[in-house]
Amino acid sequence: MTFPFLSFIGGGNMARSLVGGLIADHWPVDRIHVTDPSADALTRLAALGVGTGSDNTAAVAAADVVVLAVKPQTMAAVARELAGPVQARRPLVISIAAGIRTAALGRWLGGDVALVRCMPNTPALVQGGATALFANIQVTAAQRDVAETVLRTVGLTLWLDDEEQMDAVTALSGSGPAYFFLVIEALQAAGERLGLPADSARLLTLQTAFGAAKMALGSDADAATLRRHVTSPGGTTERALQTLETGGIRDLLGQAVEAARDRSRELADELGG
């Protein structure tokens, strides 16, 4: 197999996670290069065996695939800097910056660029991520395969046919880990109020969350069916769920996700100018 040469522009946590996943998936380290302005970041990356540097233009000029892993607020400036070598080299460009639409990114890069926009979430840092991908019309089938291979090293991948759905993805899986962390935080605190030691409450909460997710992933049944299976009529679980339903948990979660979706749209409008 011939491995495309990958250049990462930005060497932060997500880039390091992807590089680590690629290496674990047997991508040759001599086919990966990462640039970053931070010497400390480059030192950490160099320890993985990949090439490092601070010259973004040279990195793109050598790349078959460019992964833009910079902060959304700096994307416009970085992309404009790279327009020349991108137009000359014509690599596949993968963006993992939240809120940057392909139309804006393509414009900054000079136009007519093969772009894949991705929305990974933070569990990608432990190879447990969920990433949605959207390809513009210039992306070939072979390039789609490459993009999926890169992102699949850190978890599940899912293609979108409509870029507008990326705002919903941002609200659901992009922001989603924080929703579950809040539930974990609240359940642990409840256990402590009922008299459990903090360490015990934490361990029981985390293992319960992990076990529930593992059951859901390993079952063909939907969440509603699984919930009914663990809810005995007249039992403790039923009483707890009645309290949650009375408190409007479904409406509240729905409102939260919609609010995140709306903010995602606002940020895309602000960043794409």
Q: Give residue-wise pLDDT tens across range 103-161.
A: 999 999 999 999 999 999 999 999 999 999 999 999 999 999 999 999 999 999 999 99
Question: Which residues make up the CATH 3.40.50.720 domain(s) of the chain?
Answer: 6-166
**Does 174-268 carry CATH code 1.10.3730.10?**
yes
The residues of the chain that CATH labels 1.10.3730.10 are: 174-268
- Which band of pLDDT confidence, cut at 50, 70 and 90, is reported for residue 1? low
pLDDT tens sequence across 164-182 = 999 999 999 999 999 999 9
Q: What is the spatial distance between Cα 185 and Cα 204, in angstroms, rounded to a whole number? A: 12
Q: What's the CATH architecture for 6-166?
A: 3-Layer(aba) Sandwich (3.40)
Q: 224: number of CA atoms within 13 Å, CB side?
A: 1
With 0.85 as the threshold, say if the pTM is over it.
yes
Position 62 pLDDT exceeds 80? yes
